[in-house]
């Protein structure tokens, strides 16, 4: 059987995020070249992917329409960059979060790619102007920031460089949709992109509330997991406003003053260190000791929950 999609994708770096991208692209029916400078990394990534795909198939959570065996056969490893990118239509870079390393890799790619391929980075913090400025193929460059683990959490933030062609953004958006991810477009770069800006706003208020003794760390987490988070898995904060009154205008009329009053009581940016850090660390470690065995077990449980939630979201959408 032929792959369902024409075109080949290259994933550069076969670590945590690279192997997950490889699975997502293969799930969408694309042939994937997994490139790394460390052969052992590729070998262990392929072993991991093969095992994961079989488990996902057994639990009914494998993405796409192809069997695990077929999807796995679409992925091949490669340690030569030039060979890897030959005939590629999309390149997803997933190397460690180091500016100089990523600049070097995009510089190398710039010399060997054609004018059609899209050069995309998984970076979670580096701005496109830092990564891509000066490249000959800057029009084809974009940040596609996934959320860990991308296989279960589909959001991808698309962040263009000021010189990125609109068609690069459109094509990346279409590709992400095709492989079952949920892309969002940022019109310009901003520190933290959007996801981390929202996340840090929540983290900093959580830190202040615990620091001021208003609530315990365990109860703070419950406010999110058994409160806000329940609906945020289905509707965002803006739609929440719209639904929590007779529409957005009515919400603002009712709650504008109250929101501004509360927001003005927010404290300064925490330093995330010292006594409060120790207090929160102790509380978190009571539940999950910070050693690899306990952390990995809890991560596996989290991923299982996310898988169940992904299933539920799929069901709810089709209703």
Beta-strand pair 155-160/75-78: unpaired
State the chain's maximal CA–CA distance in angstroms: 63
3 touches ligand NAI by CB under 6 A: no
Minimum CB–partner distance for residue 232 and ligand NAI (Å): 19
User: Binding ligand NAI by CB under 6 A: which of 11, 26, 74, 94?
Assistant: 94
The C-alpha atoms of residue 121 and residue 11 are separated, in whole angstroms, by 10
Site string for ligand NAI, 200-239 (x = CB under 6 A): ----------------------------------------
User: Binding ligand NAI by CB under 6 A: which of 15, 180, 192, 211?
Assistant: 15
Q: Pick the stretch among 96-104, 132-140, 201-209, 279-287 that binds ligand NAI (CB under 6 A).
A: 96-104
Q: Quick one: which of 115, 114, 132 has its CA closest to 123?
A: 132
Minimum CB–partner distance for residue 113 and ligand NAI (Å): 15
Q: Pick the stretch among 97-105, 112-120, 135-143, 153-161 that binds ligand NAI (CB under 6 A).
A: 97-105
Chain residue at closest Cβ approach to ligand NAI: 15
Q: Kind and range of the H or E element at 105?
A: helix 99-112
CB-side neighbour CA atoms (13 Å) of 41: 18
Encoded tokens for 100: 């100089």
* Residue placing its CB nearer to ligand NAI in the complex, 5 or 14: 14
Residues in the chain: 319
Q: At what angle do helices 39-58 and 16-27 cross, to 10 degrees?
A: 50
18 touches ligand NAI by CB under 6 A: yes
> Site residues for ligand NAI, window 110-169 (CB under 6 A)?
122-124, 145-146, 148
Phi, psi of 48 (to 5 degrees): -60, -45
User: How many angstroms separate the Cα of 316 from the Cα of each of 65, 89, 119, 289, 306?
Assistant: 20, 34, 35, 36, 15
Site string for ligand NAI, 249-288 (x = CB under 6 A): ----------------------------------------
User: Binding ligand NAI by CB under 6 A: which of 38, 99, 112, 222?
Assistant: 38
Minimum CB–partner distance for residue 130 and ligand NAI (Å): 12
The C-alpha atoms of residue 241 and residue 250 are separated, in whole angstroms, by 9
175 touches ligand NAI by CB under 6 A: no
The C-alpha atoms of residue 10 and residue 12 are separated, in whole angstroms, by 6
The C-alpha atoms of residue 276 and residue 209 are separated, in whole angstroms, by 10
Task: With beta carbons less than 8 A apart as the criterion, state whether 281 and 274 touch.
Answer: no
Q: Quick one: which of 181, 179, 103, 187 has its CA closest to 147?
A: 181
* Residue placing its CB nearer to ligand NAI in the complex, 57 or 86: 86
Minimum CB–partner distance for residue 79 and ligand NAI (Å): 9
The C-alpha atoms of residue 216 and residue 280 are separated, in whole angstroms, by 9
Minimum CB–partner distance for residue 247 and ligand NAI (Å): 35
User: Binding ligand NAI by CB under 6 A: which of 9, 11, 12, 118?
Assistant: 12
Minimum CB–partner distance for residue 292 and ligand NAI (Å): 15
Q: Give the residues lining the site for ligand NAI (CB under 6 A).
A: 12-18, 35-38, 41, 94-97, 101, 105, 122-124, 145-146, 148
């Amino acid at each position: 059987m032929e792959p369902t999609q024409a075109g080949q994708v290259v994933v550069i770096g076969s670590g945590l995020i690279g192997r997950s991208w490889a699975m997502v692209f293969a799930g969408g029916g694309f042939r994937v070249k997994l490139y790394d400078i460390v052969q052992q990394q590729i070998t262990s990534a392929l072993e991991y992917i093969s095992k994961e795909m079989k488990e996902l198939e057994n639990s009914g959570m494998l993405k796409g329409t192809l069997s695990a065996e077929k999807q796995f056969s679409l992925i091949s490893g490669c340690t030569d960059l030039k060979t890897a990118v030959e005939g590629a239509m999309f390149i997803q870079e997933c190397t460690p979060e180091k500016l100089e390393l990523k600049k070097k890799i995009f510089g190398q790619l710039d010399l060997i790619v054609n004018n059609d391929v899209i050069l995309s980075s998984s970076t979670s913090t580096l701005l496109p102007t830092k990564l891509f400025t000066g490249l000959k193929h800057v029009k084809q460059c974009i940040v596609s920031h996934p959320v860990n683990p991308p296989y279960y959490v589909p959001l991808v933030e698309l962040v263009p460089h000021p010189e990125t062609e609109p068609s690069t953004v459109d094509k990346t958006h279409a590709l992400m949709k095709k492989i079952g991810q949920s892309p969002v477009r940022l019109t310009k770069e901003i520190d933290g992109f959007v996801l981390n800006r929202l996340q840090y706003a929540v983290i900093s208020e959580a830190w202040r509330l615990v620091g001021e003794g208003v609530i315990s760390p365990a109860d703070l987490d419950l406010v999110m997991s058994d409160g806000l988070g329940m609906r945020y898995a289905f509707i965002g904060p803006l739609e929440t406003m719209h639904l929590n009154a007779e529409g957005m205008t009515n919400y603002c009329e009712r709650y504008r003053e109250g929101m501004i009053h509360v927001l003005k009581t927010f404290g300064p940016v925490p330093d995330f260190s010292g006594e409060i850090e120790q207090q929160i660390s102790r509380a978190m470690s009571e539940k999950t000791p910070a050693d690899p065995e306990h952390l990995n077990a809890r991560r596996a449980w989290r991923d299982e929950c996310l898988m169940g939630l992904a299933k539920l979201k799929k069901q709810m959408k089709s209703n």
